[in-house]
Structure 1
């Protein structure tokens, strides 16, 4: 009889990684996916045959008994799991676990949707998957370029997963990786961010693609510029669950890094598409659809109306940014961290129509 994953004694490889910062050595143990075995000897044998090379690694890796993941995943439909990220800014207490993450288990393989904001979070995603299945992780699908969704991809890629994103994601990550890494190191702290790297997609989706997990198909759709210029949605055709990434926000204030008009058009299109449940990029982690998109639609409409009124009245951007969208403040957490920038992006776009 095969024991459930959570009850089997398994061993995973770990390695110490360190950096020097401010005259101090900071270290942590990093999980090394891809060497799991039922016994410590089997894990060590896999390490002997395989290659391990992590930045900052000190000494040879070792094998320890697999522990439980620190992330809570809920089975929102048969074989479909979702994790709700914290509704807060990245910091030492959450290690960048501030966005929603999902995975889907087919008969032959598993696909992960988004990966969190640090290697440490990605390691926890891997462990959460392994509590439920030892099937190969076929793909990690990145819904867009923002660091809180992509920085955890490293361990999943090391486990053998193909990294998939929308066309243009590789270029966007290359252009922003330095700023993203510097920013998240400052927010999370050097220890929490240790070992984190940007993983460029192995494959980019230009229009639509189907991903077969074994009697289970995911529909990947590259969206026009909206929340960002790299937005991708993932629909599990078996359950009707749609992973929308940051094309849909709940509770957490929306962040505009693309096109206001494009976002409104894309959101309207998604509202017309069938979905039993929708997983937003933040909040939820599930929303009824299409009614679950009403709050975001209202915010974007207010952003557009206030911006057009300010432009028509000749109010300069420096003044308008402080007032555009303010009527929506009570409806969103972290509103003051994001709204002024949203107003700036919207004003710049609509001013030159």
Structure 2
């Protein structure tokens, strides 16, 4: 009898601890707030600026710049952020600016912080380029697994929901004299980089082609193709065709500067890797190479350079072996 009482007491204590812990976790999750602030950058055009850093629990893994444009026909949302919670809070923040319905969501490429907030827009058409949709389907599960590990409770209930509508490059079918929207397809940062250009306001949402004050991410990069894409974007800038350029990461108001920053960093990276491969260096040696002073102030330098090397350097070694 005494043994049964003791066992019952232990079970009750264990359950109390479990439910207390669960309550604390739920309370913490309920209080998570990205504090999204819609910054107006042009007529009817807004940006939610992410933290210029690497993914971490302390910043909620909110490191991307997303945005939206309010047209006569409804709101066009550009990227939905890193989690279900981000997408929900993004949609709430948009509703504080306009009472117009969401017309369309665009995911500019396959990377997780471009589309893991899609769950919040289940009732809205969500569009992307075909290669991006395929990439989301193939890599979505691994993205969420990795980000749950890094971001913790910020990712609660987040599931990969790839875009369902294939978008075609060209003028968008939106009847609004204030917003002549055009979609342009590039590649280099990924195999399919979608860019949104509002030719009326001069604002370009350039996605991952441009990084400002930050080291570019390269998991799906083709450097030579990326250079070609950046040359085109540079020409838009030098010919004064654009007034503002929103980079995927970094200060939204430094996007035009980010064009040259990204070109310069990729040029150095490409030449550095070519020279290292010619000298027969292995990855550990490349990781110890000095980084030019002008890049040392870039955000996420240490983790991103490590990833740059591991993503890209093996292909430079293979090129040497072919010769």
Q: Which moved more, 1:312-321 or 1:143-152?
A: 312-321
Whether 2:37 is the aligned partner of 1:72: answer yes
Contact map agreement 2:52 2:249 (CA 8 A) in 1: yes
For 1:109-167, what per-residue CA distance to the aligned partner results, in whole angstroms no more than 9, with x for missing partners?
A: 11011111111111111111111111111111111111122111211x23x32111122
Residue 335 of structure 1 is matched in structure 2 by 301
Whether 2:192 is the aligned partner of 1:230: answer yes
**In structure 1, what is the Cα distance between the partners aligned to 2:29 and 2:73?**
28
Residue 278 of structure 1 is matched in structure 2 by 245
From 203, 206, 211, give the equivalent of 2:165: 203
For normalisation by structure 1, the TM-score amounts to 0.75
Whether 2:113 is the aligned partner of 1:148: answer yes
Number of equivalent positions: 292
Contact map agreement 1:322 1:340 (CA 8 A) in 2: no
For 1:292-329, what per-residue CA distance to the aligned partner results, in whole angstroms no more than 9, with x for missing partners?
A: 41111111111011111112222233422432755554
For 1:204-240, what per-residue CA distance to the aligned partner results, in whole angstroms no more than 9, with x for missing partners?
A: 235435241633232111212x111231111112201
Name the SS for the 1:187 alignment partner: helix
For 1:239-297, what per-residue CA distance to the aligned partner results, in whole angstroms no more than 9, with x for missing partners?
A: 010001111101222111221111111111111123111000011212363x4411111
Contact map agreement 1:307 1:347 (CA 8 A) in 2: yes
Whether 2:155 is the aligned partner of 1:193: answer yes
Residue 316 of structure 1 is matched in structure 2 by 282
Name the SS for the 1:103 alignment partner: strand
Which protein shows a greater Rg? 2
Name the SS for the 2:90 alignment partner: helix
Whether 2:126 is the aligned partner of 1:163: answer yes
Contact map agreement 2:38 2:93 (CA 8 A) in 1: yes
Contact map agreement 2:195 2:205 (CA 8 A) in 1: yes
Superposition deviation, residue 92 in structure 1? 3.4
**In structure 2, what is the Cα distance between the partners aligned to 1:328 and 1:343?**
19
Alignment of 1:209-248 (within 5 A): 209-212=171-174, 214-215=176-177, 216-224=179-187, 226-248=188-210
Structure 2, gaps ≥5 residues long: 1-17
Residue 82 of structure 2 is matched in structure 1 by 117
Residue 176 of structure 1 is matched in structure 2 by 139
Normalized per residue, the structure richer in strand is: 1
Contact map agreement 1:69 1:128 (CA 8 A) in 2: no
**In structure 2, what is the Cα distance between the partners aligned to 1:29 and 1:209?**
44
Residue 63 of structure 2 is matched in structure 1 by 98
Residue 13 of structure 1 is matched in structure 2 by none
**In structure 1, what is the Cα distance between the partners aligned to 2:78 and 2:96?**
17
Quick one: structure 1 residues 89 and 313, their matched pair in 2 at CA, closer, same or farther if it must change by over 3 Å? closer
Residue 137 of structure 1 is matched in structure 2 by 102
Name the SS for the 1:176 alignment partner: helix
Moved runs in structure 1, 4+ residues, more than 6 A?
Answer: 28-31
Residue 60 of structure 1 is matched in structure 2 by none
**In structure 1, what is the Cα distance between the partners aligned to 2:130 and 2:110?**
11
Residue 7 of structure 2 is matched in structure 1 by none
Normalized per residue, the structure richer in helix is: 2
